Amino acid sequence: QQQVRQSPQSLTVWEGETAILNCSYEDSTFNYFPWYQQFPGEGPALLISIRSVSDKKEDGRFTIFFNKREKKLSLHITDSQPGDSATYFCAASANSAGNKLTFGIGTRVLVRP
Amino acid sequence: EAAVTQSPRNKVTVTGGNVTLSCRQTNSHNYMYWYRQDTGHGLRLIHYSYGAGNLQIGDVPDGYKATRTTQEDFFLLLELASPSQTSLYFCASKGKANSDYTFGSGTRLLVI
């Protein structure tokens, strides 16, 4: 059973558009939600993260919206650039269990110039 | 600069073969993790460790052993490799409780 679900699996947007990536989770003990960005041939790298006490986190063109009641969050990439083309993973962890992260299957984003 | 180094970068082995994947971190982090990445599954946790000599079972441990010899070094062992273990393997390290993961560049393993 997938504890962290992501959709869509792939997404194509034009340069300048807003890409919206969705994520949902099952475990109500999850309270930390990082998003990782991965380029081909590289390991994932932390992009932006949010804790469950917040409903929004913004970092430049990247914004996380978080709905604790519905156990859903989304990553918005505004003014998408071709350099944003990558795979994005939503992840979650709880304070216990060694803070191990549970990852979603990822969303592959392609930004066309 | 914090770093996680994995070796080898690529590995090919035969079914039934013995493989060791290596990971070294220079971050002085206590936590280390081994994940496998497969299309349609994302990253799945195999084993992890809180420190030298400590081992914890992850979510997909079958067919894998791990050993944390020092704070810096974490090894993943496949003693009887199978084609189902063909995958991209990532090691990661993490410091104190509220810090984030640092990933290595991955090892691509092919079992033929």
Domain edges within chain B: 4-105
Q: Do A100 and B104 touch (CB under 8 A)?
A: no
> What's the pLDDT score for residue B96?
73
What is the reported pLDDT for A1? 60
Is residue B55 within 8 Å of residue B69, measured between CB atoms?
A: no
User: What CATH architecture applies to the domain B4-105?
Assistant: Sandwich (2.60)
Task: Give the integer Cα–Cα distance in Å for A52 and A72.
Answer: 11
Q: Which residues on chain A place their C-beta less than 8 Å from a C-beta of chain B?
A: 4, 6, 34, 41-46, 49, 89, 95, 98-106
Where does residue B88 fall: left (phi above 0), alpha (psi -120 to 50 degrees), or beta otherwise? beta
Give the residue-averaged pLDDT of A49-64.
95
What are the Cα distances from residue B6, in Å, to A22, A101, B64, B93? 31, 20, 17, 12
The pLDDT, as a whole number, for residue A98 is 60
Task: Give the pLDDT band of residue B27 (cuts 50, 70, 90).
Answer: confident
Q: What is the mean pLDDT of residues B33-60?
A: 94
Domain range list for chain A: 4-94
Average pLDDT of span A67-85:
97
| Percent with pLDDT over 70 in chain A | 96
CB contacts < 8 A, A to B, total 51
pLDDT at position A100 is 86
Cβ of B100 under 8 Å from any chain A Cβ?
yes
Mean pLDDT of chain A: 94
DSSP string, A47-113: EEEEETT-SEEEETTEEEEEETTTTEEEEEE-S--GGG-EEEEEEEB-SSGGG--EE---EEEEEE-
Token pair listed for A4 = 């962290």
Residue A1 is given by DSSP the state: -
Phi, psi at A80, each rounded to 5°: -55, 140
Which residue of B lies nearest to A32 if distances are taken between CA atoms? B98
Q: What are phi and psi of A106, to 5 degrees?
A: 95, 155
Candidate from A45, A95, A105 with C-beta closest to B103: A45
Per the model's pLDDT, the better-predicted residue between B62 and B40 turns out to be B62
B85: DSSP letter:
G
Please confirm whether the linkage preceding A82 is cis (ω < 30° from 0): no
- A11 has a pLDDT exceeding 60: yes
Q: Which fold has domain A4-94?
A: Immunoglobulin-like (2.60.40)
Question: Whats the size of chain A, residue-wise?
Answer: 113
The DSSP symbol for B83 reads G
**Closest residue in chain B to residue A108, using alpha carbons only:** B39
Give pLDDT tens digits for B73-92: 999 999 999 999 999 999 99
Q: Mean pLDDT across the stretch B3-17?
A: 96
